[in-house]
Amino acid sequence: MSSTTGPHATVPAPITADVARSLPLPWTSLVSRDDLVEHVSRHPSMCWHLPGTQSYLLAGPWRNRRDIAEVYESRGDRHRQALWNALLINAPEPYGAILVDPSEYRAAPRFYRHVRVGPIEEVLVLRTGTLPGPPVDLTLQVMPFRHRGLSTLLEIDHGAFPWLWRNSSEEFAEYVKAPGVRLCLASGAEGAVGYVGYTELGGWGHIDRLAVRQDRQGRGYGAQLLSWTMRRLEQSGARYVQLSTQGTNERSQALYSRFGFKQTRGGYKLYGIQPSRDVSISAG
């Protein structure tokens, strides 16, 4: 009997749908059994276990990015290194980054420090109850996103955000299906200049994404988009608006501060490692 598949296996094996149906999950697990079965069917090389033990590692694409893996749960200190290695070695292509969920990092900090995982970014949560903010003259035309404009949306997004924070087409497709979400493109005399994605749910609004084309930045378009969005949220009944931004993104923080946003609770650190890229994955 093979040492990789038998009851006394010594090396990890992928978690198949059949394995997922019987894998011993603790009551504290972040994933349900049905979700795990579906997940391993979609991402067969991202979840591993050591047969004959209760050790496993669960990972998936971060924000629908195939080039970034996120480890969100593992079990079994003795075998965690072998499971981690299996994730890296068996990737279809080398991952540009591997992130670790904050709760998972706190569960095994010594191991993750050993494999050089550490904080790579602090994400701040900002909030304001001052709507719609200071008056801003609007020269942009803001229209709901249509799927035929996906290439334009991706071009703006990838030029405006650092590598780590760029959205994939799959992420946008999933995002627009969420309840209360609005995704809009903004155009000026020179064509498409930016986009905004926000969520409106009763008295609460959240600005999920705001970007200005890289070669159009510094012209006040970001303030226009922010003002337009906050007006729409106020009209829909929002009493306060929240958003998140990277701690290193001082330019955006200055803009948000002008509109009354202040840091509030809910911020977190992003933990990860960059095993195969030469460029920084810290957000600018």
Q: Where in the chain are the domains?
A: 13-115, 125-269
Cα distance between residue 75 and residue 55, in whole Å: 5
pLDDT of residue 9: 55
Please tell me if the domain spanning 13-115 has the same topology as the one spanning 125-269.
yes
Which two three-digit tokens encode residue 51?
């047969």
Residuewise pLDDT in 10s, the chain (284 residues): 334 444 445 799 999 999 999 999 999 898 999 999 999 999 999 999 999 999 999 999 999 999 999 999 999 999 999 999 999 999 999 999 999 999 999 999 999 999 999 999 999 999 999 999 999 999 999 999 987 789 999 999 999 999 999 999 999 999 999 999 999 999 998 899 999 999 998 899 999 999 999 999 989 999 999 999 999 999 999 999 999 999 999 999 999 999 999 999 999 999 999 875 433 333 32
pLDDT of residue 6: 46
Provide the CATH number for the domain formed by 13-115 in this structure: 3.40.630.30
Query: Which 8-state DSSP code applies to residue 179?
Result: T
Pick the CATH number of 125-269 from 3.40.640.10, 3.90.1300.10, 3.40.630.30, 3.90.550.10: 3.40.630.30
Which two three-digit tokens encode residue 64?
């629908």
Cα distance between residue 242 and residue 244, in whole Å: 7
Say whether 71 sits in a helix, a strand or coil. Answer: strand
Strands (E), the chain: 13-14, 47-49, 56-62, 65-75, 97-100, 118-128, 141-144, 181-188, 191-201, 204-212, 240-246, 262-273
Q: What is the pTM (predicted TM-score) of this model? A: 0.86
pLDDT of residue 275: 73
Cα distance between residue 194 and residue 208, in whole Å: 14
> Cβ distance 83 to 15 under 8 Å?
no
- Which tens digit of pLDDT belongs to each residue from 25-49? 999 898 999 999 999 999 999 999 9
Which two three-digit tokens encode residue 83?
């499971």
pLDDT of residue 3: 41
